[in-house]
Amino acid sequence: MVTLARSMTDDHPARPCLVLANDARAGGLEKAAAMGIPTAVVDHRPFGKDRAAFEAELTRVLEAHSPDILCLAGFMRVLTEGFVTRWRGRMLNIHPSLLPKYRGLHTHARAIEAGDLEAGCTVHEVTAELDGGPILGQARVPVLPGDTPETLAARVLEQEHRLYPMVLRRFAAGERGRIDL
């Protein structure tokens, strides 16, 4: 999130207008505030199993800031079809695997367990199909002997910080073609 926010300067076609978290303890909130970006929290827990009610509140807060594009960055709540439809073609996510491999959670452990020689990250459009939307970019890294989920995650994260800003800049300029790093 911080890397994306920092990237949006000078001739970049976008600017950060809100950092929104579902957990008041999220470290990114203070960092965003220090950068002068408005922040907000919508805690999902009071809504229990009512995802639509949680999302109605997310929408209310989002609309107050009129965003053109939403970038998920470590956002861990599955979004319902209603929310996704409203933001169709305007919402991105970065996922720590070479999709379509390893949708969902624990991607690095699964790649190591499978004996994969390569791992990476994917920026995709968010659709109702979890981690299944159109792919906008991927970056690859080697899986090295002795890797743990933590060492592999750190290697992938470096690439996440390269890939996501590049894809966002292109996306904000209207380019939907795929890039591979």
Single out the segment in contact with ligand NHR by CB under 6 A; choices: 14-22, 72-80, 141-149, 159-167: 72-80
CB count within 10 Å of CB 42 equals 21
Nearer to ligand NHR, 33 or 154 (CB): 154
Determine the interface stretch with ligand NHR among 13-21, 52-60, 74-82, 146-154 (rule: CB under 6 A).
Answer: 74-82
Task: Decide: helix, strand or coil at residue 171.
Answer: helix
| Of the candidate residues 24, 34, 76, 117, the single one contacting ligand NHR (CB under 6 A) | 76
Q: Which residue has the tokens 């491999």?
A: 101
Backbone angles phi, psi at 158, to 5 degrees: -55, -40
> 94 with 122: CB under 8 angstroms?
yes
Write down the least CB distance from residue 9 to ligand NHR, Å.
Answer: 26
- Using CB under 6 A as the binding criterion, the count of chain residues that bind ligand NHR stands at 16
Q: Is 93 in contact with 107 (CB distance < 8 Å)? A: no
Site for ligand NHR (CB under 6 A): which residue of 4, 26, 93, 138?
93
The set of residues, in sequence order, having a beta carbon less than 8 Å from that of 171 and lying 6+ positions away, is 69, 92, 136
Note the Cα 129 to chain centre separation in Å.
15
User: Which range binds ligand NHR by CB under 6 A, 8-16, 57-65, 73-81, 145-153?
Assistant: 73-81
> Residue for token digits 């998920």?
72
**Does residue 78 bind ligand NHR (CB under 6 A)?**
yes
Question: Is 95 annotated in the active site?
Answer: yes
Q: Which of 46, 82, 104, 142 forms a contact with ligand NHR (CB under 6 A)?
A: 104
In the region spanning residues 122 to 141, those forming contacts with ligand NHR, defined by CB under 6 A, are 126, 128, 130-131, 133
- Under rule CB under 6 A, residue 109 binds ligand NHR: no
Looking at residue 79, what DSSP letter applies? P
Among left, alpha and beta (phi > 0; psi -120 to 50; other), residue 164 is: alpha
Is 4 a binding residue for ligand NHR by CB under 6 A? The answer is no
Strand pairing category for 19-21 and 70-72: unpaired
Contact positions vs ligand NHR (CB under 6 A): 72, 75-79, 84, 93, 95, 104-105, 126, 128, 130-131, 133
> Which are the catalytic amino acids?
95
